[in-house]
Chains A and B, each alone.
Chain A
Amino acid sequence: MVNKSKKILIVDDSKNYLFILSQTFTEEGFSVVTAENGEEGLEAVKNEKPDLILLDIEMPKMDGITMSRKLKELNIHVPIIFLTNMSDVGHISDATETAADYMIKSDVNIKDIVSRVKDRLSQKA
């Protein structure tokens, strides 16, 4: 079902988090690219053309919401799953016009993240 050579971009300002997630997804057979803030994330999307983006919201330099808006302006339609803390949820619905896909970090396990990613990718197919 899931094509194992799909590319995932993970954008988060916590190096530890990036490390954990990229380890996990690499072991699941995905190819992983990482970025530490919205600016780097935009560059990564343009250069690497990922199949899905796991996007943290609270980041320095450029936050997740702004980055997703910029992607929209550039007409880049890569599926995004926002990774957020409770406080951000309002912001997401303000910023995105379509129903945004998000997960609340503190409520989910890594397993949950992985299965959501797989679901999302299989929807596209």
Chain B
Amino acid sequence: MTIEFLIVIIITIIFVIIATVEFFVFQKNVNTEKSLAERERDAKHKMYEISILNELSDRIGYSLSVQNVIEIIIRSLREFVNYTAVSYMLLLPEKIIFRAYLEKSVSHKFIDDIKVKMLNSISALLNVDFQNKKIEETLWGVASSGGLEEVAGSFFNIPIVISNKVVGLMTVADTQAGFYKEEEMTTLYKTSQQAARAVTRLQGVVELEKSKLNAMVASITDGVVMTDMDYEILVVNPAAKRAVGLENKNDLAVSDFAGVLAGKFDFKDKIEESIRLDKVFLSGEVSLTSGFFQIAVSPVKDNWKTLGCVVVFRDITHEKEVERIKDDFTSMIVHELRSPLDSIKKIIELMRSSEVKKARQIEYLQMIYGGSSDMLELINNLLDIAKIEAGKFELIKQPSSIKEIIESRVLFFNIAAKDARVKITSCFGKNIPDKVEFDSHTISQVLNNLISNAIKFNREDGSVVVQALLHKKGENIEKEAKDSKINWFIKKNMAEVPDSLLVAVTNSGQGIAPDQINKLFNKFFQVKTVFAQKGGTGLGLAITKSIIDSHGGIVGVESIEGQGATFYFTLPIN
């Protein structure tokens, strides 16, 4: 045995080595191929996941119903899983939807088998019996009586959970047994979970936005009604219900509104017109039992598409009331100016036409004088009010003597008082300071107004007393009056009122009813009452209030019906 034998052995060893190496290389290749295949499959699974989620996100703009989600997942399923049939069940309140997609032709037995298995799964999941639920069934593919008489050999379920509720079940089944691998089931499971979670989150966002919108619309004080293109009411807020008097009705329809507005506003027609012509309509005043409204109708659009229509009810009852008061005020002024002017013209006509006796002439002249004075006073009052409202009413406060001013006014009104058969006097409390800071011209005007009213609204042989005292903060006003021997109707608690001059004009007229007192200092006081009968307009009181307000004082009136009244004001002492 020699070199030949050695050479053979070496060559054999080399071959063995080569073979082993090749074997290992081969193995490695196989492994590589194997992991390649695996990787390919993993990649396929990932792509499936991604494509599903992509498609879902594409469709999020449209109505993303659970059923749509399931269909999306199922549609691409056959790309990476083999199956005989894939099916799903969706639980609705009144029925169960069952859909199956068949890849191969199967028998009805197969389908029934799947149905039973699915129902059992769901029952187990929810602990509920579904025996009596109606099942709406749809099949895609071929199911025949001549098909494979086989039942499901392999089969796995994926529950569908939205917002923590089980809403259905997805099932993949095959006639062959042992078909499904863990990775496939896991991928499908994960994808469904993620899709379901996306839908849940989306539903949450939609609910939140909806409730925000509802809260906002509910709190709007105008009535808001929104309809869709089919005249179904989408939104109606409490204010709208109140406007038409249907607060207690739920589920309002367009016909309810049309009924209430019949003859006043063409509800349905206006909505239709607004949408058709793409125009906004504003109605005139519409009178409803709850008040006056202005109704606006406008189409609602999302970029180019018309979604429906919105109707807004604006309550203009208050505005109308204010308008009416202003109109009354204006016509009152016109009347108060026109009347005296006409009389004056007629008087002059009389005086010119015939031989008028001297005594009669004097009477006529007095009437002309009276009429002219009344008109002049009204015009002056109007100008004052205009100035006050424009903020241009100026006060010149100087140290002035209230006693002097009151005494001069009493003197001035002596004649008028005598004509009216009324006695006018003044009464001063002790300790009234000689000089106090105020605008003597306007305070004179105030006294003129109060005194002339007191004389006018008095009875025969009645009295007018102009009173003044020094009020100290914290003191009881009735005590202060008593100490100064002043009689008036003031009972109000003035303890909080700071140190002031309190000036009052007390008359013995018929007094003022409590419900009238609030209106007195308002320039829009209902004039067709006391003032109109006795002449004058009541504007003077409004001006008086402005003047005293500007001085930082307060005005007021207290009265006992049948006995008389006291009009008073305060001038703070700085």
Q: Do A and B come from one complex?
A: yes
Chain B residues with CB under 8 A of A23:
350
A96 CB-CB contact with B under 8 Å: no
Residue of B nearest to A15 (CB): B535
B248 CB-CB contact with A under 8 Å: no
Q: Which of A21, A60, A61 has the most CB of B within 10 A?
A: A60
The answer to whether A20 touches B353 (Cβ under 8 A) is no
Chain B residues with CB under 8 A of A51:
none
Least Cβ–Cβ distance between A81 and chain B, in angstroms: 16
B518 CB-CB contact with A under 8 Å: no
**Beta-carbon contacts of A7-40 to B below 8 Å, as 1s and 0s?**
0000001101101110110000000000011000
Known: A20-B347, A24-B350. A14 touches B340 (CB 8 A): yes
The answer to whether A110 touches B346 (Cβ under 8 A) is yes
B367 CB-CB contact with A under 8 Å: yes
| A21 CA to B350 CA, complexed, in Å | 10
On chain A, the number of residues with a Cβ less than 8 Å from chain B's Cβ atoms is: 21
Contact of A16 among B331, B349, B367 (CB under 8 A): B367
| A14 CA to B344 CA, complexed, in Å | 11
Chain A residues with CB under 8 A of B335:
58, 85
**Beta-carbon contacts of B87-104 to A below 8 Å, as 1s and 0s?**
000000000000000000
The answer to whether A106 touches B342 (Cβ under 8 A) is yes
Least Cβ–Cβ distance between A59 and chain B, in angstroms: 9
Chain A residues with CB under 8 A of B532:
13, 60
B343 CB-CB contact with A under 8 Å: yes
Least Cβ–Cβ distance between B378 and chain A, in angstroms: 14
Chain A residues with CB under 8 A of B343:
14, 16-17, 20
* Interface SS majority for chain A: helix
| A34 CA to B548 CA, complexed, in Å | 41
Chain B residues with CB under 8 A of A20:
343, 346-347, 350
The answer to whether A16 touches B528 (Cβ under 8 A) is no
For chain A, residues 92 to 122, give those with C-beta under 8 angstroms from any C-beta of chain B. Answer: 105-106, 109-111
Chain B residues with CB under 8 A of A106:
338, 342, 345
The answer to whether A17 touches B339 (Cβ under 8 A) is yes
Least Cβ–Cβ distance between A56 and chain B, in angstroms: 9
Residue of B nearest to A63 (CB): B528
B370 CB-CB contact with A under 8 Å: yes
Least Cβ–Cβ distance between B450 and chain A, in angstroms: 23
Least Cβ–Cβ distance between B313 and chain A, in angstroms: 31
The answer to whether B346 touches A17 (Cβ under 8 A) is yes
Least Cβ–Cβ distance between A46 and chain B, in angstroms: 21
Least Cβ–Cβ distance between A55 and chain B, in angstroms: 15
The answer to whether A16 touches B338 (Cβ under 8 A) is no
The answer to whether A16 touches B370 (Cβ under 8 A) is yes
| A58 CA to B371 CA, complexed, in Å | 18
The answer to whether A60 touches B533 (Cβ under 8 A) is yes
B529 CB-CB contact with A under 8 Å: yes
Chain A residues with CB under 8 A of B350:
20, 23-24, 110
| A23 CA to B345 CA, complexed, in Å | 15
| A14 CA to B338 CA, complexed, in Å | 10
| A60 CA to B346 CA, complexed, in Å | 22
Chain B residues with CB under 8 A of A85:
335, 338
Chain A residues with CB under 8 A of B338:
85, 106
16 further A-B pairs in the complex, CB-CB below 8 A; given A20-B350, A110-B346: A13-B532, A14-B339, A14-B343, A16-B343, A17-B346, A20-B347, A24-B350, A37-B533, A60-B533, A61-B528, A85-B338, A87-B331, A105-B342, A106-B342, A109-B346, A110-B349
B residues adjacent to A (C-beta < 8 A): 331, 334-335, 338-340, 342-347, 349-350, 353, 367, 370-371, 528-529, 532-533
Cβ contacts A to B, 17 pairs, < 8 Å: A13-B339, A14-B342, A16-B340, A16-B347, A16-B370, A17-B339, A17-B346, A19-B367, A20-B343, A20-B347, A20-B350, A60-B528, A60-B529, A85-B338, A109-B349, A110-B350, A110-B353
**What 5 A-B pairs come out closest when comparing CB atoms?**
A16-B343, A60-B532, A60-B528, A14-B339, A20-B346
